[in-house]
Amino acid sequence: MPVGTLGSVKAMSPKELEEIGFDIILANTYHLYLRPGIEIIKKSGGLHKFTNWGKSILTDSGGFQVLSLQKFRKITEEGIKFQSHIDGSYHFFSPEKVMRIEHDLDADIIMTFDECTPFPSDYEYAEKSAKMTARWALRCKTEYKKLQSKQSLFGIIQGSIYDDLREKNANEIMKIGFDGYAIGGLAVGEKKEDMYRIVNLLDKILPKENPRYLMGVGTPIDLLENVERGVDMFDCVIPTRHARNGSVFTKNGRLIVRDAICKDDLKPIENDCDCYACKHFSRAYIRHLINVNEILGIRLTTIHNLTFYSNLMKNIRKAIRKNNFSEFKKRFIAKYTREKK
């Protein structure tokens, strides 16, 4: 899912996202609550009409964003009191309030409000945090039922890098019952092997018939590794953020297109890519645009990166259907990580 935190995937129009092939984007409850405010979105008829995006939307509950405000928030059993990163004003999120906000946003998939466990956390804190997440998940489900919402509600599993806490929290969240299950609190600084171990563990526990969503991941290799471990859905700012820094993804690895190596390079970013940037412009031209701060430069790198990610996921689905995913993964990683001469 391309990340449209504020209701817009940076540098892209809804039409362009649809043309690339995306069926769903992510928006963020915390940020939209602060700006432009829930009332104007509700008055507009919901987030789809407000943003003119006709396909699916998933809204994150804001737990991760509140985590990042460690100096400006206080967690209690009732919820989280926090200060806005914009103007310092005080606000309060409870599980019930977040459900009402997400209901008013009218996204297709909404997330429970969790305490996103920071990393590193000692065992005692991670256990306390996971228990809080489970209690909040039950309150979210109760409020969701009161709202008679037709949205899909996903529960979030916490427990840091501790196997027993993850297993216990997963069973508690599953007992409440949700339409899908998200793995939170990873990609926050832990080692890759810890991420993969936790996802492997949850693959054995979570029901096969429900979507699994690994939040905030990731790199092309992370997508492949975690699909192999049973994950269905991802979101990450990597493709758009790297694009704004002049970095593009190719089958042969990442290319820093803003660097001097591309100054006289008249090839497209990637020869066999069918995106608008590759069909019409050279590396040299895109580098020039970026280095003179022309907006078109980062629009073109964003179009390419999102096309690369969209095509990667399409090819993953195709490989799974043909029952040759392992072979596809091996070939992709070998080419992507091959040392460049």
Catalytic residues: 60, 235
Residue of 240, 236, 243 whose CA lies nearest to 221 = 236
Q: How far apart are the first and last CA of the chain?
A: 33
C-alpha to C-alpha distance for 201 and 39, rounded to whole angstroms: 41
In three-state secondary structure terms, 111 is: strand
Token output for 152: 């899909």
C-alpha to C-alpha distance for 210 and 324, rounded to whole angstroms: 23
C-alpha to C-alpha distance for 155 and 176, rounded to whole angstroms: 9
Question: β-strand 73-75 against 212-214: which pairing, if any?
Answer: unpaired
Burial classification of residue 270, based on how many CB atoms lie within 10 Å of its CB (0-12 exposed, 13-18 middle, 19 or more buried): buried
Q: What is the residue whose two structure tokens read 């810890």?
A: 194
CA 106 to chain centroid: 18
Asked if residue 147 lies in contact with residue 100, where contact means CB atoms within 8 angstroms, the answer is: yes
C-alpha to C-alpha distance for 314 and 312, rounded to whole angstroms: 5
Residue 311 has φ and ψ, to the nearest 5°, of -65, -35
